Amino acid sequence: MDLNGESKILLPALNTIKDPDPNSLSTRLLKYLAVRHPSSTIQPTLLHNHNYYNMPSGAPKNCSKTYKVPRRPFEAARLDQELKLVGEYGLRNKREIWRIGFTLSNIRRAARELLTLEDKDPRRLFEGNALIRRLVRIGVLDEDKMKLDYVLALKIEDFLERRLQTQVFKLGLAKSIHHARVLIRQRHIRVGKQVVDIPSFVVRLDSQKHIDFSLTSPYGGGRAGRVKRKRAAAAASKGDGEDEDEE
């Protein structure tokens, strides 16, 4: 293959990489660039020096923020409120509160931005209706309050009420809010036909009536648990022993 001047710079640079595995992703990628794009000025050493050489295989992870810590870490009023929410809704830690607060702040920010536009603005009509419909669908916003002004009045408790853990307890499937979390984590709860083991799962209004025990769960008519099977076997063996003594 007749190479031009730039490709003659690329190919010698490939030989400078001390790669123990000639079939690695970085080596094959650089060779592909050198052969298929001779006029490219990308230096292979730049890829090598920016951790592309040791980059693991698979899709990249999403590193976006999911929660935001409080600005004042030792505020007495906020600490008491968070502690009350953790106990009332059976949360694992305060990060679950911060995650909902972060989501709520994004929703409020979007609503405030849309309220600055004109009432007939196409963006306000389209995005505002989409935001309101989404909140109504998950049960956070009532149907008689389908306005952006009511979105600004939402609280963290409104989202905590829509968690699967809270709904399982309110439906009477669990003895306490903490028992509800145990049932969910042990895969005893299903929503429709799907077993859900995430306590923070947001339940939609149309899915709320489909919350029930899993078909494979002992509570839902499935196979008995390990302890119950062990006790039944012990009782059966004890009964057989008494019958033999009577004979």
Q: What residue ranges do the domains of the chain occupy?
A: 5-49, 76-160, 172-220
* Long-range Cβ contacts of 101-109 (<8 Å, 24+ apart): 101/67, 101/68, 101/156, 102/65, 102/66, 102/67, 102/68, 103/159, 104/154, 104/155, 104/156, 104/159, 105/68, 107/131, 107/135, 107/151, 107/154, 108/151, 108/152, 108/154
pLDDT for the residue numbered 48: 47
Residue type present at position 184: I
Give residue 225's pLDDT.
83
Q: Are 145 and 132 in contact, with CB atoms under 8 Å apart?
A: no
How many Cβ atoms sit within 10 Å of the Cβ of residue 183? 22
pLDDT of residue 24: 64
Please name the residues in contact with 207: beta carbons below 8 A apart, sequence gap of 6 or more: 191, 192
CB 60 within 8 A of CB 92: no
pLDDT tens across 62-82, in order? Answer: 788 999 999 999 999 999 999
pLDDT of residue 201: 97
Question: Model confidence over 138-163: pLDDT tens digits?
Answer: 999 999 999 999 999 999 999 999 99
Residues with pLDDT less than 70, the chain: 1-58, 241-247
Contact 65, 33 (CB under 8 A): no
